[in-house]
Amino acid sequence: MSQRASFDVLVVGSGASGLAAAVSAERSGARVGLATKGSIQACNSAKAQGGIQASFGDDDSPEQHAADIFKSSHDSADMRLVEILTGDAQNAIHWLEELGVEFTRDSVNGRPSGDRGGYRLARCGGASAKRLLQVGDRTGHAITKALRDAFEAGGGTLFANSPLTAIAPGENGWRATCGEHELDAATVILAAGGRCFRVAEERGELSTNHPNATGEVTRIALDLGAQARDLDELQYHPNGGAWPETMQGYSIPETTRAYGAVLLNADREEFTDSLGPRDVVSQAIFDEVEKGKGVETEDGRPAVYLDTTRIAPDDAEISLPYMLRRYRGAGIDPLAEPLLTYPVLHYQNGGLTIDTDAQTTLEGMYACGEIAGGTHGRNRMMGNSLLECVVFGRRAGRAAAEKASA
């Protein structure tokens, strides 16, 4: 049934960033509406497997984390945003724990290890220290479930199956058309994710993304005059599943490489640093195939090997159980034979320009998560997107609530 309703804060999108924003806005005292395209569960965030970065290691710091991001971005990230991201990271992890997320911990003689807060930390591509926290290899699922539970326990109003199709300045802020609903709000938070599913379809390529990742909300904001940065820069995940057919487009977690898997060419030789920055590793695979040193899948697609047999079985059981289950279900045991892999479209590096409160260049319109640009510059490190969703989702929620009450 169509509705007219009015809120202090309207959040668009129910991935990790939208949910974090909605929960934070509500806890800051705002009346919150949450409009999303499909069901509340439908998003990229829930598909994230690998993990979330935070500098808990004894040999690590927020400054070191920030330096790694800047380097991986080829000096293009906005350092004001990066310093917030890495400085708030531990706090974000503890907030998620309060909401019920149980990060995987290392144990010594059956007891949580005293190091690094006890977290099991992995090193991801481009990182100078072990920094990736995980919930097995279903980290995004665990985080979005906890955030959904928190949202549903609060007083926010959900509009499922209600895609944003138009928004314009209204009497007291913004008026948005979301599905059949006309929603007024003093402030709006855009958290509708990236566009890699649509672009992959247009290019006839594979993508790791959820079908709702189509980017029209970015277009709507640009048409209103919002500024964006690095929007041309789309990221390939180095390790898309290439074979068997049922695993095509699956993103083989980068943690396989963190736990010892390496990339090999047709001659079973290593041809790149398997834990380099994502764009470098993807390019190395493209180049190797171009040189004729790749292999072909049974349906004629290009690929190289990811030698997962080098992963210690204990590490695989603790940190990669979902990946093992998926491949074994498809008839391949990654601990007994290498996987066939090739880069797939994965992430929109750039997005709407935001300030340190996640406000776009339009007054009262905020953006967080993959739809926003700057935090990763032109090349994101793995594990920093979920972190960005939580850190900037919370900031956007708080700032939008405060502005709405002013």
Residues that bind ligand FAD (CB under 6 A): 12-18, 35-38, 42-45, 47-52, 139-140, 163-164, 191-193, 208-209, 212-213, 216-217, 251, 347, 369-371, 382-386, 389
Tokens matching residue 154? 């609060």
Considering beta carbons, is residue 289 or 344 the nearer one to ligand FAD?
344
For residue 244, say if its preceding peptide bond is cis, omega within 30 degrees of 0.
yes
**Counts of helices then strands in the chain (DSSP H, E):** 12, 19
Going from the C-alpha of 304 to that of each of 62, 131, 243, the distances in angstroms are 35, 27, 11
| Dihedral sign of CA atoms 378, 382, 384, 387 in order | positive
Strand segments, DSSP code E, in 103-245 are: 107-108, 111-112, 132-133, 157-159, 164-170, 173-178, 181-190, 228-229, 234-243
Residue with smaller CB distance to ligand FAD, 197 or 243 = 197
Nearest residue (CB) to ligand FAD, 169 versus 211: 211
Q: Which residue's CB is nearer to ligand FAD, number 192 or number 206?
A: 192
Beta bridge partners of 115: none
- The answer to whether 368 and 14 are in contact (CB under 8 A) is no
In 3D space, the residue among 263, 342, 271, 276 whose CA is nearest the CA of residue 308 turns out to be: 263
Pick between residue 16 and residue 226 the one whose CB is nearest to ligand FAD.
Answer: 16
Q: How far is the CB of 208 from ligand FAD (least distance, A)?
A: 4
Q: Which is nearer to ligand FAD, 5 or 266 (CB)?
A: 5
**Alpha-carbon gap, residue 96 to 103, rounded angstroms:** 9
Q: Closest CB to ligand FAD among 288 and 388?
A: 388
Amino acid making up residue 381: M
Pick between residue 57 and residue 393 the one whose CB is nearest to ligand FAD. 393
Residue with tokens 């405060």: 402
Min CB(266)–ligand FAD separation in Å: 27
Least Cβ distance, residue 271 to ligand FAD (angstroms):
24
Q: By the 8 A CB rule, do 379 and 74 touch?
A: yes
CB of 125 to ligand FAD, least distance (A): 11
Shortest distance (Å) from residue 66 CB to ligand FAD: 16
Cβ 268 to ligand FAD, closest distance in Å? 28
Please give the structure tokens belonging to residue 344: 């797939």
Whole-number minimum distance, CB 310 to ligand FAD, in Å? 21
Nearer to ligand FAD, 192 or 391 (CB): 192
Amino acid at position 29, single letter: G
- Closest separation between CB of residue 384 and ligand FAD, Å? 6
Least distance between ligand FAD and beta carbon 134 (Å): 8
DSSP of 4-59, one letter per residue? Answer: EEEEEEEEE--SHHHHHHHHHHHHTT--EEEE-SS-TT-SSGGG--S-EE---STT
Closer by beta carbon to ligand FAD, 85 or else 386: 386
Strands (DSSP E) found in 302-356: 302-307, 339-348, 351-353
Least Å distance, CB 267 to ligand FAD, is 30
User: For residues 296 and 301, what is the distance between their CA atoms, to the nearest angstrom?
Assistant: 5
Output the smallest distance, CB 281 to ligand FAD, in A: 15
Residue 383 or 397: the one with the smaller Cβ distance to ligand FAD is 383
Residue with tokens 């479209």: 345
Q: How many CB atoms lie within 10 A of CB 236?
A: 23
